[in-house]
Structure 1
Amino acid sequence: MDDQKKEKLTKELQGMALGTVGTFILLAFLTFNSADSSLNSWSSEGGIRNLGGKLGAQVADLFFSGFGLASYLIPLALLYMAYTLFRFKEIRLRSYKLLASFGLIFSLSTLFAFFRDTTILFGQQVATGGVVGKLTCNLLKNTVGPFGAMLLLLPLLAASIMILSKFSFVLFAGWWLENLKNKWAAWQQRRAYNQGEKQKDKARQEGMSAPATSSGPVIKPAAPPAPILNAFKKEKDKKKEAVKTAAVQETFAFIKAEGDFRTPPFSLLDTPPATEKKLDRDALTMNARLLEKKLKDYGIDGEVVEICPGPVITMYEFSPAPGIKISRIAGLSDDLTMALQAMSIRIVAPIPGKGVVGIEVPNRERDMVFLSEIFNCEEFHHNKMKLPLALGKDIAGIPVVTDLAKAPHLLVAGSTGSGKSVSINTMILSL
């Protein structure tokens, strides 16, 4: 038998011994009967009612008479030591731990006797503090008074618990206060959100728009729709406008034109609706606060300093606290996606030229990007591009136009229904 296996077998035997003793003492305590004969009392009634027999009755009476209800800590400590040995861990009985154990039992028995002399436990009358607790309680009351007694006993109890369990009351209080502060902040956010919803409902009923809140991160206004450059004029000016538009681009005589052909007018394209969609500032602010809370749950402190809503995606600019690694934020895209119940989230860590991290969240209600907006914007008409391509809008809602002559290698890929054909048709119409 090797040494490691022998050591495990020894710990297992020690655990069985401590577990047996602890179980016997606990069973004797639970079935204690004051009518049983013991070292301190004698009963004329025959029989022992304690499940531990005569020995169990004497052990229970001895500990209850000495330390009262605090005696229950003894079998519980033995059972915990047995559990530790069964897990093949080392038990080191340091002198300071033994003193802390005695201090715990001593302070508890004195505190029990301080408030009550006896109590009924499992149908039997038991001294709450025993002889030790009663004598110490009377001594402290006569010397330092009730307040002084508490001033001595409570720190002794707290110090004993901290030594035995490595529990910090200061850290626990800090955690509790932080948790309370987070719950208070979440309640305030829900309250503000509900009030905003009520105001918007009331405004809708009255035919007015709800007022926007001024608190929270800076929310950039959505990019206005691209201006229409005289494309939709009177019918008699359509041909002139088409000729002007065609003249802006440099022509390539690949095929000789035949007949009186004119490019189709822009009026054939659908135009965006005249009503401008209003930003839901409350929803954007709530998402920003939710992002901050979820990141804080993963130990990443910071705040959302700016929100950039776009037609399809909203960018939340998150400023992390000093000492936070950017790589930790970049690896939480899946967790944030689940927290916000979004289809997907893209994290730009960091945004070039800025000291913030960009979190791109898809909008629940996407705005339609019309081809006529791109064709009639300044970027498409007033440029020096040979082959301008209307690609759409960026995250901020600004039209994007690129020159095919400077980017001849083009690859279009994507899943079914992602818009490949629409993109190709848009590029063809741009030319």
Structure 2
Amino acid sequence: MRREIRGLIFLLLSLLLAGSLLSYHPADKLLWNVTGPLGKSQNLFGAVGAHIAGGLLLLIGFSSFWLAIIGVVLALLSFKGRSLSSPAINVTAAFVLILTFSGILNIEFPAVVRFREGHVIAGGLVGLYLAGFSVELLNHYGALICLAALFVVSLMFCTKLSLGWLFSTLFTWGSIFLRQIQTFFQKRSERKKRARKTSMARKRPRTPPKVTISEPVPEPKKKPEQKAFSFMSLNGHFELPSLDLLDDPPEGKSKSVQKESLEMNARRLEKKLADFGVQGEVVEILPGPVITMYEFKPAPGVKISKVASLADDLALTLRASSIRIVAPIPGKAAIGIEIPNNQREMVYLKQILSSSAYQESGFRLPIALGKDITGAPVITDLSRMPHLLVAGATGTGKSVSINTMINSLLFKVSPEMVRFLMIDPKRIELSIYQDIPHLLHPVVIHPKEATKALRWAVQEMEKRYMLLSDLGVRNIEAYNRKIQKGVKIPEPHEGEPERNPLPYIILVIDELADLMMVSSREVEEAITRLAQMARAAGIHLIIATQRPSVDVLTGIIKANFPTRISFQVSSKVDSRTILDAIGAEHLLGDGDMLFMPPGVGRVIRIHGAFVSEDEIKGVTDFLRNQKKPEYDETILSAAEDNGADDAELDKDEKYDQAIEVVIQTGQASISMIQRRLRVGYNRAARMIELMEKEGIIGPSDGVRPREVYGRKGS
């Protein structure tokens, strides 16, 4: 308690001294001095503070502040319970410290110093006499060195600090201070250099970026009526549809792009990037029908990742709906920044099919996708893919793209060359192609029938491989060449049809997710087998889905579909699921797609071609009027019979026991059969399938449990 009281007294005295000194005013009443009209003291602590401040400043000058500092030190020691080891020595050292400091002040400031609207002797009267005596004996520098040495020694006695520690501390802080000063001057020098470079660049005439304008696709010379191709079939001539069935694109504005506008946009883009700390310049501009790509060459030292992360920020500052950044452009030392055009140009199917890229492609199964970012038509060969996976959110142009692919084949191949097997669980997308001569079977709309159709496709693939093996050829092209040349071939086996040229079979599935919900295991197995082996047999898949999740696009399916198309998706996760890369989330919709061609390893941005429902109807009506379809009615029945035979072979002694368990529990699930009968998954699944075929249980209905009917006649 006593220590705390003593510490509090020292602290209050220090505050009194400091407050009195800091609020000193020369007009305060001090012995012979008189204040203003009211005679009131202007000091913070009144007349007492005025006398303390006036007396101390008169005697020892600015050394008076050392008394306040000493008081604070004594207060802290008292609060900590520590006392001075040698009070007499410390008091003497403090006395010497104040005297020497007063003398030093008077040596350096011999004249009076202005303080608080008055004049004060820097070291007071004591310092004045001590400085005069010392200078008279030792001259100016000798007196200064002697008093400074006494000051340092007394300070060491008071603070118990060694001279080595003091010099070490001064050296450390001095080094830090010098480094900061050096850094400051270096940065200022660099700023001046950059400013000079910028001013010189502004003075130099700016070389405008190269503007590459894609020329419109040259249309073939118009004839009175466009001649359609005709093919000789077994039943006579077959005439391919004419391009006159498609609508002509509307007369648009001149293709000449205003170079000034594009260059202005390039300067604006450079400025926005500079605002984000990315220096560089636009070296080339590639305007297209939907977007314009600006090839940006960053300055040395700029990381590509920094530019790639600015897509959303640039879209905000440039007021664009979405911006996609290609970092870097393959084969170029530049970064591609794709910005949507203010006015979007529609890409029509007739423009693509009338181009020389389509007419002179020489592909076996040409598929027209649309135009790339420069406006050039994009044609690919389905036989080289050999299968295509299409995914994207609802309303992004996926179904229109499927129609474009189908129609681009219908304009090029006859039913003798290509047959379609279409599966449309949604019932509305592919029904317009009903009864065209290219169909193998009416459009399949029921998911259970779709499973049978896939099973038939697997059987057809195996049958074709047997035919290829008999002729000693490796693919369908070599087989058909031998048949057409009349090469002597082995006689067909009993029950086999005569060996004619085999058509390509294109299996189109418009919504894979619905099939996976009903029978995911069977669908995945059939698609996997076809994707792995069906290329040489001339069977190709085009599969579309609007739910790009991992339970639909499984790893096995993706591994066997190297060629993929992604339309706009909602997130980076969906983009990675489809393409194994981001970017599809930045697409614009309405047919804007990313195409991953086989063997390239990078995606290509394409603006899909548009074909209207009226155009499709005109083409399909033209085909229906020429020839009736030759449906293979055995597709579903053959698969059903084969499935029934397989099920009978798999029936074992536990099948009847499984039926009793299902009837007693009223539940029919594979996991329940596994637990009750202690059998494997495949065995339990075959039992459930056989019960469904025999009418004991109902079909699977998504997440709902199957209905249990019981044995017939029971």
Shorter-chain TM-score category?
A: 0.5 to 0.7
Structure 1 residue 399 and structure 2 residue 392: aligned? Answer: no
Contact 1:314 1:360 in 2 (8 A): yes
Structure 1 residue 293 and structure 2 residue 271: aligned? Answer: yes
Aligned to 2:227: 242
Displacement of 1:303 after TM fit?
1.7
Displacement of 1:283 after TM fit?
3.8
Distance 1:400 1:277 in 2: 19
Contact 2:246 2:350 in 1 (8 A): no
Aligned to 1:371: 349
Aligned to 2:34: 43
Aligned to 2:96: none
| Shift in CA distance, 273/23, structure 1 to aligned 2, threshold 3 Å | farther
Alignment of 1:97-136 (within 5 A): none
1:414 aligned residue (370, 374, 392): 392
Q: Which amino acid aligns with 1:374?
A: I
Structure 1 residue 58 and structure 2 residue 53: aligned? Answer: yes
| Shift in CA distance, 118/55, structure 1 to aligned 2, threshold 3 Å | closer
Contact 1:242 1:262 in 2 (8 A): no
Q: What are the superposed Cα offsets for residues 10-48 of structure 1, whole Å, 9 maximum, x if unpaired?
A: xxxxxxx99x9899969986x775532479x93345332
Distance 2:261 2:329 in 1: 23
Displacement of 1:180 after TM fit?
7.4
Contact 2:357 2:377 in 1 (8 A): yes
Q: Which amino acid aligns with 2:216?
A: P
Q: Which amino acid aligns with 1:326?
A: I
| Shift in CA distance, 58/369, structure 1 to aligned 2, threshold 3 Å | farther
Which structure: larger Rg?
A: 2
Aligned to 1:348: 326
Displacement of 1:261 after TM fit?
5.4
Aligned to 1:224: 215
Q: Which amino acid aligns with 2:331?
A: G
Distance 1:359 1:130 in 2: 73
> Normalising to structure 1: TM-score of the pair?
0.54
Contact 2:328 2:335 in 1 (8 A): yes
Contact 1:385 1:403 in 2 (8 A): yes
2:281 aligned residue (295, 303, 312): 303
Structure 1 residue 336 and structure 2 residue 314: aligned? Answer: yes
Number of residue pairs matched by the alignment: 299
Contact 2:220 2:354 in 1 (8 A): yes
Give the 3-state SS of the residue equivalent to 2:320 in structure 1: coil
Displacement of 1:55 after TM fit?
4.0
Distance 1:281 1:401 in 2: 29
Q: What are the superposed Cα offsets for residues 80-100 of structure 1, whole Å, 9 maximum, x if unpaired?
A: xxxxxxxxxxxxxxxxxxxxx
Structure 1 residue 314 and structure 2 residue 306: aligned? Answer: no
Alignment of 1:199-214 (within 5 A): none
1:387 aligned residue (365, 378, 386): 365
Give the 3-state SS of the residue equivalent to 2:388 in structure 1: coil
Unaligned runs of 5+ in 1: 1-16, 68-105, 111-116, 133-159, 189-213
> Normalising to structure 2: TM-score of the pair?
0.34
Displacement of 1:291 after TM fit?
3.2
Alignment of 1:77-226 (within 5 A): 163=177, 166=180, 170=185, 173=188, 215-226=206-217
Q: Which amino acid aligns with 1:58?
A: A
Q: CA RMSD in A?
A: 5.2
Displacement of 1:284 after TM fit?
2.7
Contact 1:227 1:373 in 2 (8 A): no
Over the matched positions of the two proteins, sequence identity in percent amounts to 41
Q: Which amino acid aligns with 2:43?
A: N
Q: Which amino acid aligns with 1:329?
A: V
Displacement of 1:294 after TM fit?
3.6
Displacement of 1:426 after TM fit?
1.4
Displacement of 1:226 after TM fit?
0.9
Contact 1:349 1:358 in 2 (8 A): yes
Q: Which amino acid aligns with 2:41?
A: I
Alignment of 1:256-271 (within 5 A): 263-266=241-244, 268-271=246-249
Displacement of 1:334 after TM fit?
2.4
Unaligned runs of 5+ in 2: 1-9, 63-104, 124-173, 410-714
Displacement of 1:377 after TM fit?
1.1
Distance 2:259 2:194 in 1: 27
Distance 2:276 2:15 in 1: 42
| Shift in CA distance, 36/177, structure 1 to aligned 2, threshold 3 Å | farther
Displacement of 1:392 after TM fit?
0.9
Displacement of 1:169 after TM fit?
5.7
Q: What are the superposed Cα offsets for residues 52-76 of structure 1, whole Å, 9 maximum, x if unpaired?
A: 54548939x969xx99xxxxxxxxx
Displacement of 1:126 after TM fit?
7.1
